[in-house]
Structure 1
Amino acid sequence: MGLLLAGGLGLFITGCDRANEPEPADENELITTVSLKFTQQGSATTQTFTFRDTDGDGGQVPSRFDNISLKANTTYTLTIDLLDESKSPATNLTSEIQEKKDEHLLVYTANPASLLTYTYGDVDGRNFPIGLAGTARTGAAGTGKLTVRLRHQPPVNGVAVKNGTVAPGSDDINIDFNLTVQ
Structure 2
Amino acid sequence: MKLRMHLLYGTLLFTAIAFVQCKDSGDDVVPDDENELITSVTLNFKEAGTGTVSSFSYKDADGDGGNAATRFDTVSLKANTEYTLTVEFLDESKSPVEDITEEVQEESDEHLLIYTASPDALLTYTYGDKDANNYPIGLTGTAKAGAAGMGKLKVQLRHQPGAKNGTPTPGSDDVNLDFNLKIQ
TM-score, reference length from structure 1: 0.88
Poorly superposed stretches of 4+, deviation over 2 Å = 15-22
Other-structure match for 1:123: 130
- RMSD, matched Cα: 2.0
Residue 70 (structure 1) aligned with residue 77 (structure 2): yes
1:19 and 1:129 map into 2 onto residues whose CA distance is 34
Residue 102 (structure 1) aligned with residue 109 (structure 2): yes
1:88 and 1:180 map into 2 onto residues whose CA distance is 35
Other-structure match for 1:36: 43
TM-score, reference length from structure 2: 0.87
Could you report, residue by residue, the CA deviation over 1:25-84 in whole angstroms, capped at 9, with x for unpaired residues?
100000010000000011120000000001111222111110010000000000000000
Other-structure match for 2:155: 148
1:52 and 1:45 map into 2 onto residues whose CA distance is 23
2:94 and 2:61 map into 1 onto residues whose CA distance is 9
Equivalent residues, number: 172
1:16 and 1:144 map into 2 onto residues whose CA distance is 53
Alpha-carbon offset, residue 139 of structure 1:
0.6
Residue 47 (structure 1) aligned with residue 37 (structure 2): no
Q: Percent identity, please.
A: 60
1:96 and 1:56 map into 2 onto residues whose CA distance is 17
2:29 and 2:181 map into 1 onto residues whose CA distance is 43
Gaps of 5+ in 1: 156-160
Residue 162 (structure 1) aligned with residue 138 (structure 2): no
Could you report, residue by residue, the CA deviation over 1:131-182 in whole angstroms, capped at 9, with x for unpaired residues?
0000000110000000000000002xxxxx1000001100000000000001
SS of residue in 2 equivalent to 1:18: coil
Other-structure match for 1:112: 119
1:113 and 1:142 map into 2 onto residues whose CA distance is 11
Alpha-carbon offset, residue 20 of structure 1:
4.0
Alpha-carbon offset, residue 123 of structure 1:
0.3
2:87 and 2:97 map into 1 onto residues whose CA distance is 16
